Amino acid sequence: MQPNQMIQEINKFKKEKDAIILAHNYQIPEVQQVADIIGDSLALSRAAQEVNNKLIVFCGVHFMAESAKILSPHKKILLPAIDAGCPMADMVTAEDLIEYKTKNPDTTIVCYVNSSAEVKAESDICCTSSNALKVIKSINSKKILFVPDQNLGNYIKNKVEDKEIELWPGFCITHHRVKGHEVERAKELHPDAEVLVHPECNDEVIQRADFVGSTSQIISYATNSDKTKFIIGTEMGVLHKLETDNPDKKFYLLSTGLICNNMKKTTLNNIYESLKNEQYEIHVEEEIRIKALKALDRMLEIS
Ligand code: SF4
């Protein structure tokens, strides 16, 4: 089927089935073009809660669709590419946390939303890359374990003096591989551009950046800035929204390594098949969902 015909079929199914398509900023442009709402993982989970549609096609990776299901248990959440996972989310398990808690009963566990439902269920509170500092500051206890992203955890740790923050050794394979010398090189090539990076990048990249923020914060910083040139240190999919919203500004990807293969697994054909066959439905065991919801709700209360 030709892409145009496929888009027509997708729109037809959307109407017939009262469905909505949510897409993460890191999805391929074709997917973002058919999406009704584009955003980061938290914005999309909130959108999934707020929309009235009973069928939601979530174009992202598994943990994101799971978060939407935790927050909206009565809606049918579909993940079009069932093998779209997140290597960082897999770097910590619920069993790891159960064992850790036995040995460290006084430590509060803060869990980045890029984690499985089971891991959220064993955590005290969740956070995103935009509210992590606020979440950490809201915690009364001195000892904190931050899972699974050591880079985001370290970025926050450097801003908080009155807590003992232990970092789980997980990382995003896409952001972690960018090197400090790549920032230097990009600055040489584009001396009048500002460097905007995601806190999932490692410290040598963060130290060389002009601005550090979540995907949404990077988009809003560049959109509201008087500057016209930016070096972007997050997954390349974000360039689509940056360039669409800011046709007069120039964006340069910091590194060719900034591509997440899992985020690129969803295609127009996957979305078409997903709507047609209502696949692949995301399920979360109720006992785990209730526990994970507590950690997510605590975060939402303070954000
Ligand atoms: S960009 Fe990183 S954190 Fe996001 S899905 Fe890919 S591997 Fe996971």
In the chain, the number of structural domains is 3
Strand order in the sheet with 37-39: 37-39, 19-24, 55-59, 76-78
Looking at the structure, do residues 208 and 245 belong to the same domain, yes or no?
yes
Q: What is the pLDDT of residues 21-36, one digit of tens each?
A: 999 999 999 999 999 9
Pick the residue whose CA is nearest to atom 6 on ligand 1.
260
Task: Report whether 221 contacts 234 (CB < 8 A).
Answer: no
For residues 157-179, average pLDDT: 97
The pLDDT tens digits for 82-138 are 999 999 999 999 999 999 999 999 999 999 999 999 999 999 999 999 999 999 999
- The secondary structure of residue 42, as a DSSP letter, is H
Q: How far is the CA of 270 from the centre of ligand 1 (A)?
A: 20
Structure tokens at 73: 């248990």
- In a domain, residue 293? The reply is no
Q: How confident is the model at residue 260 (pLDDT cuts 50, 70, 90)?
A: very high
CA atoms 114, 28, 195, 214: torsion sign: negative
> Can you give the residue range of the structural domain that contains 119?
89-171
In a domain, 299, yes or no: no
The mean pLDDT of 148-161, rounded to a whole number, is: 97
63 and 26 share one domain: yes
What is the CATH number for 56?
3.40.50.10800
Residue 274 counted as domain residue: yes
- Domain membership of residue 77 (yes or no) is yes
- Domain end point (choices 121, 137, 171): 171
Q: Write the single-letter amino acid at 124.
A: D
Which of these three, 153, 171, 189, is where a domain ends?
171
Do 76 and 281 meet the contact criterion of CB atoms below 8 Å apart?
yes
| pLDDT cut 90: percent of the chain above it | 96
Q: Are 143 and 110 in contact (CB under 8 A)?
A: no
CA separation for the pair 255, 179 (Å, rounded): 9
User: Same structural domain for residues 179 and 248?
Assistant: yes
Same domain, yes or no: 213 and 227 = yes
Asked if 221 and 184 sit in the same domain, the reply is yes
- CB of 86 closer than 6 angstroms to any ligand 1 atom: yes
Which domain-ending residue is among 120, 145, 171? 171
Structure tokens at 96: 């790891």
Tell me: do 63 and 98 sit in the same domain.
Answer: no
- Angle CA 179–181–183, to nearest 5: 80
* Lookup result for tokens 């699974």: 148
Q: Give residue-wise pLDDT tens across range 40-89.
A: 987 898 899 999 998 999 999 999 999 999 999 999 999 999 999 999 99
CA of residue 119 to ligand 1 center, whole Å: 16
Mean pLDDT along residues 210-228: 97
Q: Which atom of ligand 1 is nearest to the CA of 26?
A: 1
Is residue 291 assigned to a domain?
A: no
194 lines ligand 1 (CB under 6 A): no
Alpha-carbon torsion angle 148, 217, 292, 301, nearest 10:
130
Query: Same domain, yes or no, for 48 and 78?
Result: yes
Q: Is residue 258 part of a domain?
A: no
Residue 244 domain-assigned (yes or no): yes
Assess whether 57 and 35 both reside in one domain. Answer: yes
Residue 292: inside a domain, yes or no? no
The mean pLDDT value for 143-167 works out to 97
